[in-house]
Structure 1
Amino acid sequence: MDRMEVTETFAGISLPGHLHTEESLRFASSFQFRDTDVVIVTYPKSGTTWMQEILTLIHSKGDLEPAKTIPNWARAPWLEHTYFKDMLQETSRPRLITTHLPCQVLAPTLRKSKAKVIYMARNPKDVAVSFYHFHKMAKFLPDPGSFEDFLVRFLEGTGEWYGSWFDHVKGWLSQRAELDLFYITYEDLHQLGRSVERLADWLGCPLQPEESRAIQQHCSFSSMRENAMVNYTLIPCEIMDHSRGRFMRKGIVGDWRDHFTPVQNMRFHKIYQEEMQDSSLRFRWLMD
């Protein structure tokens, strides 16, 4: 497949060249957002797909048709990917846009609009585990090696991903006074009904009880896992090898406990404390 072995470097971070080019990244960095845009921002493996589904159905008032007939990457296309310009539809309705890019790339252009930004974070230990398994199935990413080696690179913020988790989270959440930003966590979404209502109210799209119930039913992990518009089984095996794992693997909180050794956990906790000691941010997950 084209550019499967290519790495793009942009704004100090490395990205897989399969979906990113210098042109697509420069286009993303200068993109003119509309005031009505809704932008989903995450570090990889933080629940992005889940949020794409929820927002699709909030905007459709619980109508499942788009979620069952249109792939999620077409409903909420990725700003930095090569296909974005072709996928983004001309519409007067709010556009859903997704990105993993760090704030230093996008915040300056976002501040020129009144676009709504949803920043979703996840316990970085679970992020590391999920990203490790994703590397095993995604052929456009390098072989992760052992979990020990992968965890070292994750904590250093090096490799074929969007830089440091710590920088990504701290950077975006430092923009809360500058942007119309809604902060939510993967852990919050496990209280799905409450999270759907909060998001709908913030977006100015209040839901009827039956609409909220339809969204919650469709956005359960078991439902999404079997939906080809969500689970990436439409992607050719040359790009994602589903024989080596499922894109939607477990959907639980605390999976890191089945992967981390006591030594790895101590090392992670030490670096986490060092990286976050100057931050006033409070996160909604348990680190032990």
Structure 2
Amino acid sequence: MAAQYVQYKGIKFPCGYNSAESLQIAENEFHVRDDDIFNVTYPKSGTVWMIEILSLILNGGDPSLNQSVLNSLRAPWFTCQLGLETAQNLLSPRLLTCHLPIQIFPKAFFHSKAKVIYTLRDPRDVLVSYFHFSKMCIPFGEPKSFNHFFENFLNGDVLFGSWFDHITGWMKLKGKSNIFFISYEQLHQDLRGSVEHLCHFLGKELDEAAITSVVQNASFEAMQNNSMCNSTMLPKEFMDQTKGTFLRKGICGDWKTHFTVAQSERFDKVYQEKMRGLKENFPW
């Protein structure tokens, strides 16, 4: 049976996580504090990884919170009702998570000193990871086939909308002092250096031992073994663990094992068309 979804301002969102009311509240009524830190991504672009990194930085490298409190409580999804209630009760500075495109991001943010960390990823790897995730995540609906999902992704007919629109919308804000852009690929190539840059952006200076702790506890292996972030605690009506692993590979370039030559050529053509307006050198 096909998954149901919520439509808000032309974009599909998964049921069970969001409602039109919760999204309207997130956009128009959510109270943004000046010391809020927003972890913003398109799905499957390093969301959970960044939650772990930022949680560790904010706690001075101490992993005890990461290892004892669910990531959805440490960095709530304020676009859903439960996450909104959690966010409202968090002490400052709050770490908040969402997949919102720029046009429905909280309006109050643009009149605040709050900060956004936006993580982006090679869209070909996003597509592959999204396909495997959708097979596991019940509210997302199991894809008919890889090729069918491939076409839907290129057309923007997936939950949370078009990757191309999401990226180009947020990239228009590049250069703003309170928005930090980083890629999944950068995190892979130099996690320690990335952590240092994030610390500087957040005004959170950590000593060498603390930075080492962040790097060690935000490694793929550490996250795989941490039930507070690997999604093994989610109920089976949300996540079917028999169909895959939430933290599946955590690598760059996995698209090469999935795309046919024809798919690769088609993707490149659509990518060039949709990204034509961006004068940006991405690491993929």
Say whether the fold is shared (TM-score over 0.5): yes
Give deviations 1:242-266, integer Å, cap 9, x for gaps.
Answer: 1110000000000000000000000
| Residue identity matched to 1:166 | F
Give deviations 1:24-73, integer Å, cap 9, x for gaps.
Answer: 11111021211100001100000000000000000000111110000101
The match for 1:47 is: 46
The match for 2:12 is: 14
How far apart are residue 179 of structure 1 and its match? 6.2
> Equivalences for 1:1-288 in 2 at 5 Å?
5-30=3-28, 31-88=30-87, 90=89, 92-106=91-105, 108-159=107-158, 161-177=159-175, 180-190=178-188, 191-285=190-284
SS of 1:264's equivalent in the other structure is helix
SS of 1:111's equivalent in the other structure is helix
Closer, same or farther: CA 27–200 of 1 in aligned 2, 3 Å? same
Q: Is the 8 A contact 2:27 2:106 kept in 1?
A: no
Number of matched residues? Answer: 281
| Residue identity matched to 1:259 | H
SS of 2:266's equivalent in the other structure is helix
| Residue identity matched to 2:249 | K
Q: Within 2, Cα distance between the matches of 1:110 and 1:229?
A: 28
Q: Within 1, Cα distance between the matches of 2:162 and 2:263?
A: 18
How far apart are residue 140 of structure 1 and its match? 0.9
How far apart are residue 163 of structure 1 and its match? 0.7
Q: Is the 8 A contact 1:114 1:179 kept in 2?
A: no
Closer, same or farther: CA 129–57 of 1 in aligned 2, 3 Å? same
Structure 1 unmatched ranges of 5 or more = none
Closer, same or farther: CA 92–135 of 1 in aligned 2, 3 Å? closer
- Moved segments of 4+, more than 2 Å: 89-93, 176-179
| Residue identity matched to 2:280 | L
How far apart are residue 236 of structure 1 and its match? 1.1
How far apart are residue 91 of structure 1 and its match? 5.1
| Residue identity matched to 1:188 | Q
Give deviations 1:194-227, integer Å, cap 9, x for gaps.
Answer: 1111101110001111101111111110110111
Q: Within 1, Cα distance between the matches of 2:65 and 2:269?
A: 45
How far apart are residue 282 of structure 1 and its match? 2.2
Structure 2 unmatched ranges of 5 or more = none
How far apart are residue 279 of structure 1 and its match? 1.4
| Residue identity matched to 2:102 | C
| Residue identity matched to 2:199 | A
Q: Is the 8 A contact 1:28 1:79 kept in 2?
A: yes
Give deviations 1:149-188, integer Å, cap 9, x for gaps.
Answer: 10000000003x1110000001011023556110000001
Q: What RMSD, in angstroms, separates the aligned Cα atoms of the two structures?
A: 1.4
| TM-score normalised to structure 2 length | 0.96
SS of 2:182's equivalent in the other structure is strand
Q: Is the 8 A contact 2:26 2:106 kept in 1?
A: no
Closer, same or farther: CA 172–84 of 1 in aligned 2, 3 Å? same
How far apart are residue 141 of structure 1 and its match? 1.2
